[in-house]
Amino acid sequence: PQLNAQLEGWLSQVQSTKRPARAIIAPHAGYTYCGSCAAHAYKQVDPSITRRIFILGPSHHVPLSRCALSSVDIYRTPLYDLRIDQKIYGELWKTGMFERMSLQTDEDEHSIEMHLPYTAKAMESHKDEFTIIPVLVGALSESKEQEFGKLFSKYLADPSNLFVVSSDFCHWGQRFRYSYYDESQGEIYRSIEHLDKMGMSIIEQLDPVSFSNYLKKYHNTICGRHPIGVLLNAITELQKNGMNMSFSFLNYAQSSQCRNWQDSSVSYAAGALTV
């Protein structure tokens, strides 16, 4: 009940302006930190048309050079159980591009897990009418991001599918071994915001090459950069076929405001793709 009330509270404070979203980018930290930010993305989901939800999360614990599929049939949430789409899993498995994640990896990884209660909440009114397709995304090369983008593009083209791309933004501070600071921006937290928003505006341009170049230049610690890269490549593929799409970020937040070198913070952003 407590979780349910929290999710309802956050969602009730947000407008749905980009509905129906075909894809969303949303954070995967503890809800006390990013629950209100994530609501901006989930509010754009239209449960009446969504039948399959692909959840692309980065791998935090195991080295993975490809993508991996879960070995279970059901993910339980405190709200209700989510069924994994075995038919789509079968199609993906047949490509030879995927491996299986162990149950241990699956249970350890929070990047997909943190999206399950929000997915359940957003889809509550049609809870028996949809399946999920969780995909753990490894540290893909640019060419692999293209390959997976191409593969997922046919699913992204279908209006009854939704893609949830799991990512936090800048992890700043000594504990993350990242301390980029542009003094011209003022306080450290303003420099972080400026850096993140540069990346966000490149994502909004839907250009995977520019996004890769940005990451190479600034090394911004965006943990979901590979799932984002896969999404951008899928979009590029569909744009070649004349599909008109636009992405906008709707919210940005930081876990705390860094003012000195001892501080640390994680940034969160929520956005939606419409077709």
pLDDT digits (tens, 9 = 90+) for 164-190: 999 999 999 999 999 999 999 999 999
CATH number of 1-274: 3.40.830.10
Structure token digits, residue 39? 């609501």
The dihedral through the CA atoms of 176, 256, 212, 58 has a sign that is: positive
List the Cα angle 263/56/68 in 5-degree steps.
110
Cβ atoms 39, 11 nearer than 8 A: yes
Tell me the average pLDDT of the chain: 97
pLDDT bracket for residue 123 (50, 70, 90): very high
Residue 271 is predicted with a pLDDT of 98
CA–CA distances in Å: residue 66 to residues 58, 79, 85, 137, 258: 11, 31, 20, 7, 35
The structural domains of the chain, with segments of one domain joined by +, span: 1-274
Cβ atoms 220, 267 nearer than 8 A: no
The pLDDT tens digits of the residues spanning 229-241 come to 999 999 999 999 9
Average pLDDT over residues 248-274: 97
The pLDDT tens digits of the residues spanning 43-52 come to 999 999 999 9
Q: Find, among 178, 217, 214, 174, the residue nearest to 198 by Cα.
A: 214
* Whole-number percent of the chain with pLDDT over 90: 97
Q: Is the whole-model pTM more than 0.85? A: yes
Place of tokens 């989510």: 82
Place of tokens 């028996």: 128
The pLDDT tens digits of the residues spanning 21-58 come to 999 999 999 999 999 999 999 999 999 999 999 999 99
The pLDDT tens digits of the residues spanning 206-219 come to 999 999 999 999 99
Average pLDDT over residues 151-174: 98
